[in-house]
């Protein structure tokens, strides 16, 4: 069902609206009652609002067909008749009316024995049909019957045209219509009998016999019956050569070919892609064009390029009145296996009706003949599976009114540059389209099997297939032959990444995803093929160029060139962030190759290089952040590892932010593998970023991975480092008792090995846990030990933290003057060292002490300085604490507007934390909100 206004094709609206228009058009001139319309559109399951819906659709269709129609006016095409509607149109407006008038005229001409005139009328009528009526719009038995009736008219006219064509000595001219009729009526015996007779009369006896064999097989397999008498008689006539080939006039060198492959009967969705193609083809009407319009669609194997382009070609075929040519150029077989341009030209010339004896031998003569025969023609040429621009360039017709549709694995950039081709890359469909693709195919399952389909499991299967149409089609076919196979079983198979491709059976004429991907893989250079295999070990869906360099162990220029080759082959894609990703099934294929092609030693070496890239890059980033403890340097990296080296604080923070997910995964993978890097060394480099930017759950998760690996590896020092860090993460979650246990275990190791700085930092952590428990005397003891240890090792960064802890404990114990001295000492040290992170923390402590001394104005000033210090370096927890404390203080001083502003800022900081922040922070904010609401 297609609607045009002049040269512009219109969108007839949603599916049911198009169905309504098709039904009214099918009954042109006859009123259709409301009840009948409801039954035709919905069958026995019509909604309560059916009448209103039909009225709404009619209004929309009237505005579509007659844009200038006043609101609520009846219009000339769709008129109200009693309780229903009637569609009125003449042969200039509705092809169906023109078809019926032409067929009636042809029958009259036959009665007058004017066979040539009759055939011309039949052929003109039949050219108005592009495929099955209704275009899969029917949802009810009634609508199906209406559209089947129109198909029946076309089939009857095709049969009659075939008989007239044979009698008129022009059998070949009826073949295009009869072939289309045979596709529409796959099991319609009279149509196939007429086709066989016309083929034999046109000298195509072998094709006539093949036609009989095909329908006989279909009748037996699908209906369990043998061919009927009419079909058998036609077969016998062909065998006995009772239908002698007719020598047709020499004056028809150029036939009207109709070579497009059949449209996919279950085609659904892809609205966006079809709209893009329609928009591109509209430019063929640009009078400034001097060459045919060329549209080349590329994309990964199995994405549905050929299906989309074939469907689109059928939609626009009627515009190209001189016919359609089709060639499969077998580009997937590479330069050696694809169809040569000379052979392709011969096929096209045969398609245009040139006899074998008239086809020239030389390549230049082939090109010249093809251009001569296509000059001035309105012809559609579809070239499927093109290898490169050089293969297709000689096949472009010599006509500005022609259209060339191309599919290819690779973008034909050369064709765009030299021949003005429009390039479009086809991607996997979105989830709604993918769901429609799968559910349409599953509609053939028995009702019992369909009723058990779980929508969530179906969506999971679709995503595990990466929404690849080829994969979805194969799965649907597999389920159709095994209706007792549950979706849950299929989903379980697909969840196993190592065996994912096994869910798609191969062989027996099935092109499975593995085969489709292999065609692209085999055409890669050796270096690109190796990198493709190595990319299967990327730790997350996306990997940066810099990480690829270390993964491959080669220079950046070569790696970039190989990535571009992979991207051109649609095996990887570069996203806006610069990361390279692979489709989930392509990655599974790469993993199979990696494990079967590359030696185990190379597999381990590649994984090691990748893990070491992340470890050394994170170490360099942590050094820039200047933690209290000098970062623990990892061992030398393997040859080929080229880590990142952030040069500034901002670059270091950005590195951690951009790589957060992959760094977490690197710790987990290293812990599981037991080689490549020491997991806890990478985990420790992440602590500061996780803490400062509120990724507390990530912090805990990576430490637990690292703790397991350290214990399994018998590494007590590494275990102690992880225990201390894990205690910090647990403290943020309010697990203070657990935190104390972890710290005690870590401290024992540090004491045994005389690691004074680690002891001091652990004592500071003890102070935090005891303070949270309200045990301020014990907290003070730990702070004083930390101060002594920091003096002993001469670490001023740690000393300022321990002095801050001591001052806070003194405030809690009511010793405000002593606290002021210790806190001022801590601030002086901080300003001398220039550490903004600790400055925020110390100023919050000073403010709390000033509040107790009654100096609220000074406390407010300190908190504002703390806010600025924390903001400048992204110190999230103390940014929150400074705003929260400021809000509380402003409430006390009755500055409610200022308190609310500070509260909003604290809330915004908390919301930036993972999971909305720890519960204790959320509770503090809720209490503050309650005070503000009083």
Which contacts of 440-443 are long-range, i.e. CB under 8 A and separated by 24 or more positions? 440/266, 440/268, 441/266, 441/472, 441/473, 441/476, 441/477, 441/480, 442/476, 442/479, 442/480
Torsion of CA 313, 315, 321, 324, to 10 degrees: 20
Asked if 706 and 667 count as a contact pair (C-beta separation under 8 A), the reply is yes
Residue given tokens 């019992």 in the structure block: 448
What six digits make up the tokens of 824? Answer: 């001022």
CA 86 to chain CA centroid, nearest Å: 44
CA 665 to chain CA centroid, nearest Å: 23
Question: How do strand 293-298 and strand 403-408 relate by DSSP bridges?
Answer: parallel
Tally Cβ neighbours within 10 Å of residue 308.
26
State the DSSP string of 609-669: HHHHHHHHHHHHHHHHH--SS---PPPPPPTT-------SHHHHHHHHHHHHHHHHHHHHH
Asked if 459 and 431 count as a contact pair (C-beta separation under 8 A), the reply is yes
Give the span between the Cα atoms of 88 and 59, in whole angstroms.
16
What six digits make up the tokens of 129? Answer: 């049909």
Alpha-helical segments (H) within 82-140: 95-111, 115-126
Give the span between the Cα atoms of 8 and 128, in whole angstroms.
18
CA 253 to chain CA centroid, nearest Å: 47
Of the candidates 709, 711, 716, 706, the one whose C-alpha atom is nearest the C-alpha of residue 680 is 706
Give the span between the Cα atoms of 641 and 665, in whole angstroms.
19
Of the candidates 46, 54, 102, 95, the one whose C-alpha atom is nearest the C-alpha of residue 78 is 54
Question: How do strand 293-298 and strand 422-425 relate by DSSP bridges?
Answer: parallel
Output the pTM of the full model: 0.68
Three-state secondary structure call for residue 256: coil
Which helix (H) or strand (E) segment holds residue 293: the answer is strand 293-298
CA 232 to chain CA centroid, nearest Å: 51
Of the candidates 744, 550, 737, the one whose C-alpha atom is nearest the C-alpha of residue 637 is 550
Give the span between the Cα atoms of 565 and 618, in whole angstroms.
30
Kindly report the backbone phi and psi dihedral angles of residue 420, in degrees, each rounded to the nearest multiple of 5, phi listed first: 70, 25
Give the span between the Cα atoms of 609 and 640, in whole angstroms.
7
Alpha carbon distances (Å) from 354 to 253, 342, 366: 6, 15, 11
Burial of 568 (0-12, 13-18, 19+ CB in 10 A): middle
> Residue 308 has what DSSP assignment?
H
pLDDT of residue 246: 61
Alpha carbon distances (Å) from 122 to 83, 314, 318, 353, 423: 37, 21, 16, 21, 39
Kindly report the backbone phi and psi dihedral angles of residue 86, in degrees, each rounded to the nearest multiple of 5, phi listed first: -135, 140
Q: Which domains does the chain have, with CATH numbers?
A: 3-87 (1.10.10.10), 95-239 (1.25.40.10), 271-425 (3.40.50.300), 431-495 (no CATH), 514-597 (1.10.10.10), 715-831 (1.25.40.10), 835-932 (1.25.40.10)
All residues at 6 or more sequence positions from 177 whose CB lies less than 8 Å from its CB, including other chains: 122, 123, 126, 127, 129, 157, 158, 161, 162
Give the span between the Cα atoms of 93 and 569, in whole angstroms.
46
Beta bridge partners of 384: 328
Give the span between the Cα atoms of 227 and 231, in whole angstroms.
6
Give per-residue pLDDT as tens, 349-380. 988 888 765 677 678 888 888 998 888 888 99
Kindly report the backbone phi and psi dihedral angles of residue 384, in degrees, each rounded to the nearest multiple of 5, phi listed first: -95, 140
pLDDT of residue 251: 41
Asked if 379 and 267 count as a contact pair (C-beta separation under 8 A), the reply is no
Asked if 168 and 121 count as a contact pair (C-beta separation under 8 A), the reply is no
Alpha-helical segments (H) within 226-269: 229-239
Three-state secondary structure call for residue 749: helix
What six digits make up the tokens of 11? Answer: 């969108």
Give the span between the Cα atoms of 108 and 118, in whole angstroms.
8
Q: Which residues of the chain have pLDDT under 50?
A: 249-253
Of the candidates 379, 329, 332, 373, the one whose C-alpha atom is nearest the C-alpha of residue 353 is 373
Nearest-5° Cα angle at 815, 811 to 820: 70
Q: Is 94 left (phi over 0), alpha (psi -120 to 50) or beta?
A: beta
What six digits make up the tokens of 926? Answer: 């809720």
Q: Which residues of 176-209 are buried (b: 16+ CB within 10 A; e: fewer)?
A: bbbbbbbebbeebbbbbbbbbbbbbbbbbbebbb
Rg over CA atoms, the chain: 38
Asked if 217 and 231 count as a contact pair (C-beta separation under 8 A), the reply is no
Kindly report the backbone phi and psi dihedral angles of residue 136, in degrees, each rounded to the nearest multiple of 5, phi listed first: 65, 30
Give the span between the Cα atoms of 699 and 686, in whole angstroms.
8
Mean pLDDT over the full length of the chain: 87
State the DSSP string of 887-915: HHHHHHTT-HHHHHHHHHHHHHHHHTSGG
Asked if 54 and 78 count as a contact pair (C-beta separation under 8 A), the reply is no
Count of positions (residues) in the chain? 934
What six digits make up the tokens of 381? Answer: 């040429």
Burial of 539 (0-12, 13-18, 19+ CB in 10 A): buried
Of the candidates 242, 394, 259, the one whose C-alpha atom is nearest the C-alpha of residue 317 is 259
Of the candidates 862, 628, 623, the one whose C-alpha atom is nearest the C-alpha of residue 765 is 628
What six digits make up the tokens of 122? Answer: 């039949």
Question: How do strand 580-581 and strand 542-543 relate by DSSP bridges?
Answer: antiparallel
Give, rounded to a whole angstrom, the gap between the first and last alpha carbons of the chain.
66
Give the span between the Cα atoms of 295 and 21, in whole angstroms.
31
Alpha-helical segments (H) within 341-454: 341-351, 363-374, 389-392, 413-419, 431-442, 447-451
Beta bridge partners of 327: 383
Asked if 703 and 721 count as a contact pair (C-beta separation under 8 A), the reply is no
């Amino acid at each position: 069902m297609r609607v045009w206004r002049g040269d512009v094709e219109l969108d007839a609206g949603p599916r049911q609206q198009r169905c309504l228009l098709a039904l009214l058009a099918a009954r042109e001139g006859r009123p259709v009652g409301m009840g009948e319309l409801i039954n035709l559109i919905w069958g026995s399951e019509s909604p309560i609002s059916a009448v209103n819906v039909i009225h709404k659709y009619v209004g929309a269709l009237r505005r579509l067909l007659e844009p200038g129609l006043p609101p609520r006016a009846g219009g000339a095409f769709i008129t109200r008749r009693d309780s229903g509607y009637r569609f009125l149109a003449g042969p200039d407006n509705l092809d169906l009316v023109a078809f019926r008038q032409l067929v009636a005229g042809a029958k009259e001409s036959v009665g007058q024995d004017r066979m040539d005139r009759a055939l011309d009328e039949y052929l003109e009528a039949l050219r108005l049909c592009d495929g099955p009526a209704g275009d899969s719009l029917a949802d009810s038995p009634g609508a199906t019957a209406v559209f089947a009736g129109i198909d029946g008219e076309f089939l009857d006219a095709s049969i009659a045209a075939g008989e007239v064509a044979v009698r008129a000595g022009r059998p070949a001219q009826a073949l295009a219509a009869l072939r289309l009729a045979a596709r529409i009526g796959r099991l319609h015996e009279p149509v196939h009998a007429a086709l066989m007779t016309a083929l034999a009369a046109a000298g195509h006896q072998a094709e006539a016999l093949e036609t009989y064999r095909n329908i006989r097989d279909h009748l037996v397999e699908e209906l369990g019956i043998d061919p009927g008498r009419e079909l058998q008689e036609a077969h016998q006539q062909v065998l006995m050569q009772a239908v002698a080939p007719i020598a047709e006039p020499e004056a028809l060198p150029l036939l009207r070919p109709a070579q497009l492959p059949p449209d996919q009967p279950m085609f659904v969705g892809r609205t966006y892609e079809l709209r893009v193609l329609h928009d591109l083809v509209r430019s063929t009407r640009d009078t400034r064009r001097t060459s045919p319009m060329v549209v080349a669609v590329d994309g990964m194997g199995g994405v549905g390029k050929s299906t989309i382009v074939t469907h689109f070609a059928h939609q626009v075929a009627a515009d190209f009145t001189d016919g359609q040519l089709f060639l499969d150029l077998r580009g997937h077989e590479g330069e050696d296996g694809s169809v040569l341009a000379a052979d392709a030209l011969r096929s096209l010339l045969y398609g245009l009706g040139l006899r074998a004896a008239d086809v020239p031998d030389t390549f230049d003569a082939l090109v010249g003949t093809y251009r001569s025969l296509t000059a001035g023609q309105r012809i559609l040429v579809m070239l499927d599976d093109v290898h490169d621009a050089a293969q297709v360039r000689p096949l472009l017709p010599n006509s500005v009114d022609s259209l060339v549709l191309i599919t290819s694995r690779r973008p034909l950039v050369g064709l765009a540059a030299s021949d003005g081709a429009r390039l479009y890359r086809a991607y996997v469909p979105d989830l709604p389209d993918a769901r429609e693709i799968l559910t349409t195919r599953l509609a053939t399952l028995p009702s019992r099997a369909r009723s058990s389909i779980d929508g969530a499991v179906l969506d999971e299967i679709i995503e595990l297939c990466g929404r690849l149409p080829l994969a979805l089609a194969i799965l649907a076919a597999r389920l159709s032959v095994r209706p007792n196979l549950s979706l849950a079983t299929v989903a379980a198979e697909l969840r196993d990444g190592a065996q994912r491709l096994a869910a798609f059976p191969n062989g027996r004429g099935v092109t499975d995803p593995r085969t489709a991907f292999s065609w692209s893989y085999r055409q890669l250079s050796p270096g690109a093929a190796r990198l493709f295999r190595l990319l299967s070990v990327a730790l997350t869906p996306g990997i940066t160029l810099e990480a690829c360099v270390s993964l491959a162990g080669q220079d950046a220029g070569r790696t970039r060139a190989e990535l571009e080759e992979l991207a051109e082959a649609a095996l990887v894609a570069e996203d806006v962030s610069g990361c390279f990703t692979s489709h989930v099934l392509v990655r599974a294929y790469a993993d199979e190759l990696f494990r079967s092609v590359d030696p185990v030693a190379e597999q381990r070496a590649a994984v090691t290089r990748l893990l070491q890239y992340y470890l050394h890059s994170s170490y360099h980033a942590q050094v820039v952040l200047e933690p209290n403890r000098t970062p623990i340097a990892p061992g030398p990296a393997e040859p080929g590892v080229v880590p990142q080296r952030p040069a500034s604080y901002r670059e270091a923070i950005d590195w951690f932010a951009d790589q957060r997910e992959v760094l977490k995964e690197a710790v987990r993978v290293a812990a599981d593998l037991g080689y490549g890097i020491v997991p806890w060394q990478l985990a420790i480099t992440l602590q500061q970023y996780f803490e400062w930017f509120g990724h507390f759950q990530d912090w805990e998760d990576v430490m637990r991975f690292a703790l397991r690996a350290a214990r399994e590896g018998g590494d007590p020092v590494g275990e102690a480092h992880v225990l201390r860090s894990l205690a910090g993460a647990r403290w943020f979650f309010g697990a203070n008792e657990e935190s104390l246990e972890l710290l005690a275990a870590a401290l024992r190791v540090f004491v045994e090995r005389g690691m004074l700085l680690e002891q001091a930092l652990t004592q500071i952590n003890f102070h935090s846990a005891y303070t949270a428990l309200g045990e301020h005397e014990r907290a003070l003891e730990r702070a004083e030990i930390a101060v002594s240890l920091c003096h002993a090792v001469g670490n001023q960064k740690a000393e300022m933290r321990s002095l801050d802890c001591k001052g806070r404990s003194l405030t809690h114990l009511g010793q405000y003057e002593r606290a002021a001295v210790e806190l001022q000492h801590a601030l002086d040290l901080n300003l001398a060292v220039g550490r903004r992170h600790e400055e925020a923390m110390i100023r919050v402590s000073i403010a709390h002490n000033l509040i107790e001394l009654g100096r609220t104005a000074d406390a407010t000033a300190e908190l504002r300085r703390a806010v600025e210090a924390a903001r400048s370096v992204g110190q999230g927890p103390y940014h929150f604490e400074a705003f929260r404390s400021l809000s509380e203080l402003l409430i006390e001083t009755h500055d409610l507007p200022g308190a609310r502003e500070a509260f909003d800022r604290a809330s915004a900081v908390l919301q930036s934390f993972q999971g909305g922040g720890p519960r204790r922070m959320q509770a503090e904010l809720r209490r503050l909100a309650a005070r503000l609401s009083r």
